[in-house]
Amino acid sequence: MQRWIAANPAHDHSVASLASRMDLSPRHFSRLFRSEVGITPATWVEEARVNAARRLLEQGHEAPKQVAAQCGFADADTLRRAFMRHVGVTPAEYRKRFASPALPAG
C-alpha cells in the first residue's frame, strides 16, 4: 500500500479510499495503519506527496502549480504549507538549492 501511494501521489488517498482498497472500515484501517507505521495515514500521505514534490523541484522544470497538481496537492499554497511543515523551507527556497550555477561570462 505504501509503495503504491508513493508511486501515485496525485490519486485520491483519503482514509475512506485507502480503507476501501483494503476492504476495511476507515476507522479500522486508520488504527491498523497507525499501529504498524507509527503515524496517521493522512500524515504519511502528506509526507509521500512532499517527497514526490521534492524530486520534481530538484529537477527544476515545473511551475509550483504544476508540481502541486502532479503530487496531489489542491494548489500551490497547500504544497507550500505542507513543504514548510516537513522540510522547513518553501518549495522556491528548496528549488534554489538545486539550481545550476550560472557560468561566468567571458
In tens, the pLDDT along 26-82 reads 999 999 999 999 999 999 999 999 999 999 999 878 899 999 999 999 999 999 999
Residue 102's pLDDT is 55
Amino acid at position 25, single letter: S
Which residues lie below 8 Å from residue 102, measured CB to CB, with a gap of 6+?
Answer: none
Domain 2-97 has what CATH class?
A: mainly alpha
pTM: 0.86
Residue 16's pLDDT is 96
How would residue 2 be classed by pLDDT, with cut points 50, 70 and 90? confident
74-82: list long-range contacts, CB under 8 Å, 24+ apart.
79/53, 82/46, 82/49, 82/50
Residue 101's pLDDT is 61
C-alpha cell at position 42? 493522512
Domains of the chain, by residue range, sit at 2-97
